[in-house]
Amino acid sequence: MNILNTVYTTKYNTAPFSKINTEDYLPAFKAGIEKAKSEIDTIVDNPEAPSFSNTIEALDYSGEELDRISSIFFNLNSAETNEEIQKIAQEVSPLLSEFSNDITLNEGLFERVKTVYDSKDNLNLSTEQKTLLDKKYKSFSRNGANLAEDKKQNLRAIDKELSQLKLKFGEHVLAETNKFEMHLTEEKDLSGLPEGAKEAAKQLAESKNKEGWLITLDYPSYIPFMTYADNRALREQLSKAFGSKGFNNDNLDNQDIVLKIANLRYKRAQLLGYKTHAHFVLEERMAETPNKVNSFLNELLEKAKPAAKDEFKKLEKFAKDLDGIDQLQKWDSAYYSEKLKQKLFDLDDEKLKPYFKLENVINGAFIVANKLFGLQFEEIDTIDKYHEEVLTYRVTDSEGQLVSIFYADFFPRSGKRNGAWMTSYKPQMIKDGKNERPHISIVCNFTKPTKSKPSLLTFNEVTTLFHEFGHALHGMLANTTYPSLSGTSVYWDFVELPSQVLENWCYEKETLELFATHYETEEVIPMELIEKIKASATFHEGMQTLRQLSFGLLDMSWHGVDPSTIEDVKAHEAEAFSGTKIYPDVKDNCMSTSFAHIFQGGYSSGYYSYKWAEVLDADAFEYFKEEGIFNKTVADKFKTFVLSQGGTENPMVLYKKFRGKEPQPDALLRRAGLIEKR
């Protein structure tokens, strides 16, 4: 029997990673699809009249085994992949796309769902049940259930092709990241680089049996080099390699894939009766329409642009005075920003890193979760893991009841994509009277320990860890009946609130004194450094805001229009960036060809969500600041109305229940230093 198709006998019902063989996946998927199909047939063939329980609930609980297999497989395809897994992903994705279409285009099933939906006013449903019914009905109507047969077949073909193209896009980006190495053999080329970064580069070279030092496009290698390396020509080389991923007119080129994805999404939206892909997506978002998104982005742009221009002018003067640089380029950005920041605030990551040993920062996140939400984290070694570096925890509440299983995976590997993310291996739900608790994971790419030093985080990495941990809390504290409404299954422009709000605690003296201790002396971070962290928090906020807005505008430029006339990816991108451009363009670089958020992940027509959620998080944290950052009453309200409710109710309704009013954009502008603090 294939272990993936069985009920796991592991403790806490965790994934039995060590017992899964790669060749198990494809047959497991096929068997899981067949089982899920038979569960759908049972619903459709039920002789009883359609009801909420025998149709809507039954549908939400169906396919549990298949969902579990998918979670395990696709999470590993991101965090611990190889050529075999990537090949299986290409085979499996069309099967899953086809199965998804089999459900949404099943006329008998849609008839039953529609019958229940049409009688909803007489059913006396709870808020959560009403939301589930609405969501299930829309999942059919928004995905082709009302189409004529020939158009349904068109939709199937589009979805199948899209699933394969998105995978191929991601594979190309990962391959490009892995293949580039900058091999340095002279120590002078590492001038300016902190000792820890040098040691890591040497260790990496040794691991590949090479002399000298290796710099790669993995963030823990790339970011320190771009920030500290004095050799401008090498920074340029590295920057151009990073910026040209998927844009080299070779077998890993993504230009055609980008055009195909954009056009297929547009055709799909048109087929379903929507003007563009963005119109289709935003119907199920807080922002509602492309017009509102563009207005939101442009309003922020208007506020941020003067500050950004002013910051850039000062940075230009600084670089000119310091090194006679006549024209600042993109590969100068991090380098001179860091030097200016050190001059203005006498603060740099090398002063801070000794206070942010990875283990201490993890513990700090746990302490914050305990003080706010009463959670306890116990590291355990009785849980199977997919890689030896993964840490595993049992999470309990103040009564000792299991809340969640938590996995944490912190270091770069060749089989792991860049960036940081939170995911789930098992959702929370209440089924047959039992509250099934979730299995949550966060995956990051932080600097590995070296022979002489533990893993010491930059302050940016500290906020990244808290960000992903905020997402994890959203998953762990889920407490809903239905799996499709649980945890992070919320409107996409609401999902970043729990993650972004938690970053705020990193800047607070009360928090930092709990965990920021020197890794050698155990001295608590000095007050003067805390003051400098706070003072520098809005450093170059105008330029940072402009950068985020440019990504949101690029996303909308691909998805809020008819893309059929776009022939040149680079030219289109240049046009989209024209209103936010500060640095000269680099002709060999293109962002779209490696913009995995929108062409591989789930952020198409949704990149604006980061800024949208920043408005929510700034407003929410002002409430905490007013009452005390560890105030139990505010924390309980946040847990009750935001973290535990998942997608059971409209997010603005939930937010107002927590805050007592709608969020105020001015809170974000105040925090960013773009308007006066009150």
Q: What digits encode the pLDDT tens for the residues 525-576?
A: 999 999 999 889 899 999 999 999 999 999 999 999 999 999 999 999 999 9
Any idea what DSSP says for residue 525?
P
Burial of 266 (0-12, 13-18, 19+ CB in 10 A): buried
pLDDT given at position 667: 86
| Residue 572: both structure tokens together | 């289109």
pLDDT in tens, 276-298: 999 999 999 999 999 999 999 99
- The CATH architecture to which 3-146 belongs is Up-down Bundle (1.20)
**Residue 295 and residue 283: Cα distance in Å, rounded?**
16
**Distances from the Cα of 195 to the Cαs of 225, 263, 350, 410, 569, in angstroms?**
12, 48, 9, 21, 40
pLDDT in tens, 55-82: 999 999 999 999 999 999 999 999 999 9
Range with lowest mean pLDDT among 265-269, 379-383, 415-419: 415-419
pLDDT band for position 348 (cuts 50, 70, 90): confident
CB atoms within 10 A of CB 114: 17
pLDDT band for position 438 (cuts 50, 70, 90): very high
399 a catalytic residue: no
Closest CA to 70 of 32, 36, 34, 105: 32
Per-residue pLDDT for 200 more than 80?
Answer: yes
Any idea what DSSP says for residue 405?
E
**Residue 619 and residue 92: Cα distance in Å, rounded?**
43
Per-residue pLDDT for 675 more than 80?
Answer: no
Give Cβ neighbours of residue 35 (< 8 Å, ≥ 6 apart): 5, 65, 66
Q: Can you list the pairs that 305-312 forms with residues at least 24 positions away whose Cβ atoms lie under 8 Å?
A: 305/542, 305/546, 305/580, 306/542, 307/541, 307/542, 307/545, 307/673, 307/674, 308/542, 308/543, 308/545, 308/546, 308/582, 309/542, 309/582, 310/542, 311/540, 311/542, 311/543, 312/543, 312/582
Selected catalytic residue, list 171, 468, 496, 508: 468
Strand partners, 184: 213
pLDDT in tens, 247-270: 999 999 999 999 999 999 999 999
pLDDT given at position 665: 81
pLDDT given at position 677: 62
pLDDT band for position 123 (cuts 50, 70, 90): very high
| Residue 604: both structure tokens together | 């198409």
pLDDT given at position 678: 54
Mean model confidence pLDDT for the chain:
96
Q: What is the mean pLDDT of residues 107-131?
A: 97
Q: Where in the chain is the domain with CATH 1.20.1050.40?
A: 3-146
Q: What is the mean pLDDT of residues 226-248?
A: 98
